[in-house]
């Protein structure tokens, strides 16, 4: 079949965007957003004991590590050129209380884990979670009264103690994820007064009351304590967008160095709005439910593994400076 190209001028498109999609080198040259391992942060779970890593059944290829195993695992992270990890603890239920005293035990699980990782890998960034839910008997992020109300101002005192204990252990970044009012300013003041002016604060500014956290709560052991209760009195309503901008603005004013949007893919619009309205870096957290959905689809051959990379590029396109993802090692492998 012959094709007659001799059509009058004007019937051809004057602009052909497909020209720049024709070959791989052209597509690479004009690519607007690029992903690298330096964009990644790997969340990790730590537990008491030795020589043990416990599978988290609701999260593919994810484990709770004892400190010695955590340190060994960090070699893979350093080799993959992933710049930082975020630590989350699994606490023995016998140590949980309403006042969450174990959260700021200077010899507790997280401070010992931080010190061990930093001693072995000084160049690896360590981010710690500042929240009380792994330590409370009810699984909430704050201290509760007899009427089951979360007490904001008492809670932020405990959070400040917790952040200070992490800084003293060598944490590079403390990350309040609790969503209490005023906690960023309170933590910043406590760190400054104790000489930790160099420790950065990653504020979970837009943390939504999402259904996508289920596997994470299994991992830190708070699901049983929460017992079907919700966190809607302090986490954001998924129907609200402008409210996230207010939270981000307040956290900036109180001394945050970095902002966080959580979850990730269902809240790309929030990520974009926060990045467009903020003068400081913004991170995004691809949470456990997102990870589980992707891995389940990949394991059933419903999606190719490259779907993970597509989600990473989506976060970069929406403005994220860095991405917390349980897929960090997989992403590094796929990119290599």
Identify the active-site residue in 207, 231, 232, 316: 207
Which tokens is 37 given? 């391992």
Distance in angstroms (rounded) separating the CA atoms of residues 14 and 12: 6
CB 334 within 8 A of CB 297: no
Distance in angstroms (rounded) separating the CA atoms of residues 154 and 5: 77
Identify the active-site residue in 96, 161, 231, 262: 262
Angle between helices 152-169 and 109-120 (to 10 degrees): 30
Non-local CB neighbours of 169 within 8 Å, separated by 6+ positions = 106, 110, 111, 112, 114, 115, 118
Tokens 């969450």 belong to residue: 100
Residue 207 appears among annotated catalytic residues: yes
Which tokens is 64 given? 């709770």
Q: Which of 85, 163, 161, 80 is nearest to 118 (CA)?
A: 85
DSSP for 75-142?
HHHHHTT--EEEEEE---GGG-BSS-GGGG-TTSHHHHHHHHHHHH-TTSEEEEEE-STTTBTT--SS
Residue 72 appears among annotated catalytic residues: no
The continuous run of DSSP H or E covering 258 comes out as strand 258-262
Distance in angstroms (rounded) separating the CA atoms of residues 93 and 88: 15
Taking the CA of residue 257 as centre, how many other CA atoms within 13 Å lie in the half-sphere pointing to its CB? 13
Q: Which of 128, 326, 113 is nearest to 219 (CA)?
A: 326
What are the residue numbers of the active site? 207, 262
């Amino acid at each position: 079949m012959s094709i007659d190209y001799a059509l009058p001028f004007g019937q051809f498109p004057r602009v052909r965007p497909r020209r720049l999609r024709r070959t791989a080198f052209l597509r690479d040259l004009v690519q607007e957003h690029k992903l690298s391992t330096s964009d990644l942060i790997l969340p990790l779970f730590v537990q008491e004991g030795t020589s043990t890593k416990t599978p988290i059944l609701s999260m593919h290829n994810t484990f709770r590590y004892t400190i010695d195993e955590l340190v060994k695992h960090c070699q893979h992270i350093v080799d993959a050129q992933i710049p930082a990890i975020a630590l989350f603890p699994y606490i023995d239920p016998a140590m949980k209380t309403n006042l969450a005293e174990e959260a700021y035990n200077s010899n507790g699980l997280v401070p010992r884990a931080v010190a061990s990782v930093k001693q072995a890998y000084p160049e690896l960034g360590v981010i710690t979670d500042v929240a009380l839910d792994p330590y409370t008997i009810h699984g909430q992020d704050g201290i509760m009264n007899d009427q089951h109300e979360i007490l904001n101002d008492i809670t932020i005192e405990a959070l400040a103690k917790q952040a200070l204990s992490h800084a003293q252990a060598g944490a590079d970044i403390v990350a309040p994820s609790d969503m209490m009012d005023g906690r960023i300013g309170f933590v910043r003041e406590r760190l400054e007064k104790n000489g930790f002016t160099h420790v950065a604060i990653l504020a979970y500014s837009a943390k939504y009351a999402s259904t996508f956290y289920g596997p994470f709560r299994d991992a830190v052991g708070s699901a049983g304590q929460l017992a079907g209760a919700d966190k809607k009195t302090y986490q954001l309503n998924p129907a609200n967008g402008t409210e996230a901008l207010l939270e981000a603005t307040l956290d900036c004013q109180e001394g945050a160095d970095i902002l966080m949007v959580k979850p990730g893919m269902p809240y790309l619009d929030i990520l974009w709005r926060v990045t467009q309205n903020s003068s400081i870096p913004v991170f995004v957290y691809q949470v456990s439910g997102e990870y589980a959905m992707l891995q389940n689809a990949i394991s059933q051959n419903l999606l190719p593994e490259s779907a993970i990379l597509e989600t990473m590029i989506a976060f970069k396109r929406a403005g994220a400076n860095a991405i917390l993802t349980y897929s960090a090692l997989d992403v590094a492998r796929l990119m290599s």
